[in-house]
Amino acid sequence: MKTEYLSKDDIRRAADLILAGELVAFQTETVYGLGADATNSEAVEKIFKAKGRPADNPLIVHVDSIDMAESLASQIPEKAKILMDKFWPGPLTIILPVEEGLISEKVTGGLKTVGLRLPASKTAQALIHEVGRPIAAPSANTSGKPSPTQADHVWHDLKGKIAAIIDDGPTGVGLESTVIEIKDDQVLLYRPGGISQSDLEKIVGSVNLATSIDQAEQPKSPGLKYRHYAPDKPVKIFLADDEKLDKKIAQAHSQGHELGLLVSDETLGKIKISVKDHYSLGKERDIKIASQQLFAGLRFLEEAEVTLILAESMADLTGSEAYMNRLEKAAAGQYI
């Protein structure tokens, strides 16, 4: 299949492709999504095929208005309403009981719930509006790769497998949306993301991390059982203020490693030993910029001539939960 490379002025063409049951990747404020008509099972099946994604991992459904969200949910708890009003459009996915018969069961993987999100990206909104139907969209990467934050990441993974990509520049947030569900008036946080736990707590009081909920309690976000990102190269995390860092780098070199650092310029300036390659997480240690750059940096260093990627921890910065969550997954929890 020839993949069309579209711009944000080609929304009509993109909408026609989606209505014809094809896949179109589009920019959202978090990461690029791989969109299909959520009401069309054949189209939705193509998403799983193109990504190599397990069929029981449900997809987020993107809407262009709170009205559209209300039509797809059979019931909306009070706290969900409050959070929609506060954070939509934006990087928050809310899992709600699904209204039967409207969206394909392939989207929900047979669950009685659906994850809904109203993206802030104007291009994404325009596309959903032009299609006039909800759009199912996971991140537009091959399953197991870092989520795409630029159109060329999508091109790299999915060229030839999907109908089109709308290039609208790099994404602003750089990490996927926060995923929550409200159960018995409690807000459960399944995936940290663009909206932080403390942002949520300021509006609705205490939020429970789903990982701290009794393991026996079902269902959890099915995505939790899959490793998000298994890099081809080992990744280890380092602490910016580690006094032994130079020593550890020298040791890795003596073991024959070529190193790629994923690091802020500020921290790089303090490292005395030169390494094979690096990718900048921004001038200063800034969690917004580091989050924007994390996935692009992991992709860049995977392609570089290095054998070990060392990535900077930002755990000491406020609002770093989502960054650290993705980085710890990439590093399988390993620190140097």
Interface ranges with ligand TXA (CB under 6 A): 28, 30-31, 33, 57-60, 91, 93, 95, 108, 111, 113-115, 117, 137-139, 176-177, 179, 190-191, 221-223
**Length of the chain, in residues:** 336
Our CB check for ligand TXA shows the closer of 236 and 299 to be: 299
In angstroms, what is the minimal distance from the CB of 140 to ligand TXA? 7
Which of Mg ion, ligand TXA, none does residue 162 bind to, with CB < 5 to 8 Å depending on kind?
none
Q: Any bridge partners for residue 308, and if so which?
A: 259
Q: Half-sphere exposure (CA, 13 Å, Cβ side) for 70?
A: 7
Q: What are 27's two structure tokens?
A: 């920019």
Would you tell me which residues interact with Mg ion (CB under 5 A)? 139
Give the alpha-carbon dihedral of 62, 67, 68, 72, to 10 degrees: 100
Which of Mg ion, ligand TXA, none does residue 174 bind to, with CB < 5 to 8 Å depending on kind?
none
Our CB check for Mg ion shows the closer of 139 and 264 to be: 139
In angstroms, what is the minimal distance from the CB of 107 to ligand TXA? 8
Residue closest to Mg ion when measured from CB atoms? 139
Q: Any bridge partners for residue 237, and if so which?
A: 311, 335
Our CB check for ligand TXA shows the closer of 15 and 308 to be: 15
Q: What are 77's two structure tokens?
A: 């708890």
Q: Which of 33, 48, 44, 226 is nearest to 140 (CA)?
A: 33
d(CA 282, CA 109): 39
In angstroms, what is the minimal distance from the CB of 111 to Mg ion? 17
In angstroms, what is the minimal distance from the CB of 117 to ligand TXA? 6
Helices 287-303 + 321-330 axis angle, to 10: 20
In angstroms, what is the minimal distance from the CB of 254 to ligand TXA? 39
